[in-house]
Amino acid sequence: MDSNTVMTGIESAMTQIVSELSERFGDNVFTLQQTADGIPTLWVSREKIRGIIAFLKKEARPNYALLFDLTAMDERLRTHRQGLPDSDFTVVYHLLSFGRNQDIRLKVALSEATLSLPSIFDIWPAANWYEREVWDMFGIVFEGHPNLRRIIMPPTWVGHPLCKNHPARATEMEPFSLSDERQTIEQEALRFVPEEWGMQRQSEGSDFLFLNLGPNHPSVHGAFRIALQLDGEEIIDAVPDIGYHHRGAEKMGERQSWHTFIPYTDRVDYLGGSMNNLPYVLAVEKLAGIKVPERTEVIRVMIAEFYRLASHLLFYGTFAQDVGQMSPIFYMFIDREKVFDLLESISGARMHSSYFRIGGVALDLPDGWDRRVREFIDYLPSRLDQYDKMVMKNTVIKQRTQGIGSYTTAEAIDWSATGAGLRATGFAWDYRKARPYSGYENYEFEIPSGNRGDCYDRCAVRVEEMRQSIRIIKQCLENMPEGPYKADHPLTTPPPKARTLHDIETLIQHFLDVSWGPVIPAGEASVTIEATKGLNAYYLTSDGGTMSYRTRIRTPSFPHLQMIPLMSRGMMIADLIAILASIDFVMADVDR
């Protein structure tokens, strides 16, 4: 069964926005596509795309305020395209409406000969980096973009990696060698030239200092570079430069079986562990039509919340450390260690447990898990209270972080900020409440929010989120259902083995599903979750094979880093460090 033809729920909402658009732009402008995730998906021509996007953002009531994702797909080798317009490369816009609590996906078909379409950076500032990424990865030109240069690959790179004809493995390429000459060229290419970014070297009163902060700097949390234009210690402008941690996770998704890609997801937001598995396995399950048992859902929620705690504890400690407070991180590492001990006793691994499976989890909970979980949730709250005294109520911390790096809710949405960065502005919007997944509708918890949108509030929101996570874990503990921990479905991994020794067909099928991996029905599905750092989504396209045709990973940190210039202009270097700490990013989550 081709899941392109599966019509899942929310039909009325779908027809509503489609009829609104038809009213405005005419009936024959759109081609409707049905996807496994039920998100209204419309194909539009590239002449119309800007107008439609501007309409959705500005005129539609309620509007689509957030540019959730902007990506593309090389469709040249895709075989299951029944009913879809001809396209070599498709650009995909994924918009989110808070008012409707609805998404919409717009697709533009492009032919190889004319790989260009108009830029929308003036409609959404956040589109700037996304369009650069699409150009970098696919070679699609966005007309009118102010600075369409490589963002993730090095400036000297030849080719566009996510094109299907670009090699994916080192063995498909010439052996790598770095001659002195080549090294000089590569190093020279990294030199920051202010003029390329429209910066002045001096003003009337002073010569500016250009400071290269990173890629190796104690406070950039990974390999990340920011070129700073300074007047004394005051930041005039900043240019974030990413890509140093790029490992081609999306390309790997096209070369790994559906099952063997799971461990790669752990390493995207490497502080989030199995939290990363969740959107991926949920998306595969949507494509495969698997419904997981209740026990699986509760286990997943509990593990995900533990990873949220682990990630937030690390954030909390490094935040204090980056404003110069040395000790809290050590206390918080002790707590984090306890989380990892617990996760280890459940899954066998600590940071990257890859515990979730398609259709379930890897193992059932071990005997005595409840005692350890109870011990931990009894232990942590008093520690959090101590940290409040130590960090959040500290006068110097307040002086250093209140009113620093603040932005409004409108700015946050325009720049695609999600997670604590959005909630700190006073907009209490949490994906777990707005669109519950994996059974989050069954839990009682609050959505903490701030009101100033500054560094302090971003931290305060996360601190409170930890308390809410403890609440959720407690509810998991008290209401853990009995039953199987894996769905009884042929496409779960590892596949069910019970009947394999009874007949040869089942044995063969089991052998194939284990060795090649399951064949997931053709179709498209995107699943979003409230991850540790904001909204994380996996947008999977299956062409009916054992591997994904296209794996798009929408990570929260990518747009967050794009906001750094906005947040840091007029601040001092020390403020920038506080701002970086308060964003809570990891570079693998940015570069993938």
Query: Interface with another protein by CB under 8 A: which residues?
Result: 209, 211-212, 217-219, 233, 320-327, 330-331, 334, 394, 396-397, 399-400, 572-575, 577
Query: First-to-last CA distance in the chain?
Result: 32
CA 448 distance to own-chain centroid? 21
Angstrom distance (rounded) from CA 150 to CA 134: 9
- Nearer to another protein by Cβ, of 4 and 318: the residue is 318
Place of tokens 């991994």: 493
- Nearer to another protein by Cβ, of 387 and 415: the residue is 387
- Smallest gap from residue 217 Cβ to another protein (A): 6
- Smallest gap from residue 179 Cβ to another protein (A): 23
- Smallest gap from residue 344 Cβ to another protein (A): 21
Strands of 225-231's sheet in order across: 209-213, 225-231, 234-241
- Nearer to another protein by Cβ, of 400 and 552: the residue is 400
Helix-helix angle 294-322:328-347, to 10 degrees: 160
Q: Which of 200, 206, 214, 197 is nearest to 232 (CA)?
A: 206
Q: Which of 542, 548, 590, 443 is nearest to 37 (CA)?
A: 542
- State both tokens at 533: 């750092």
Q: Which of 56, 53, 94, 52 is nearest to 73 (CA)?
A: 94
- Smallest gap from residue 323 Cβ to another protein (A): 5
Q: Where would I find the H helices in 157-293? A: 180-189, 249-253, 262-266, 277-288
- Nearer to another protein by Cβ, of 219 and 506: the residue is 219
- Nearer to another protein by Cβ, of 119 and 229: the residue is 229
- Smallest gap from residue 462 Cβ to another protein (A): 18
**Residue 193: what residue type?**
V
- Nearer to another protein by Cβ, of 24 and 383: the residue is 383
- Nearer to another protein by Cβ, of 114 and 399: the residue is 399
Q: Which one-letter DSSP state was computed for residue 520?
A: P
Angstrom distance (rounded) from CA 410 to CA 290: 38
Q: What is the 3-state secondary structure (H, E, C) of 437-506?
A: CCCHHHCCCCCCCCCCCCHHHHHHHHHHHHHHHHHHHHHHHHCCCCCCCECCCCCCCCCCCCCCCCCHHH
- Smallest gap from residue 190 Cβ to another protein (A): 16
Q: Which one-letter DSSP state was computed for residue 45?
A: -
- Smallest gap from residue 330 Cβ to another protein (A): 4
- Smallest gap from residue 343 Cβ to another protein (A): 21
- Nearer to another protein by Cβ, of 54 and 573: the residue is 573
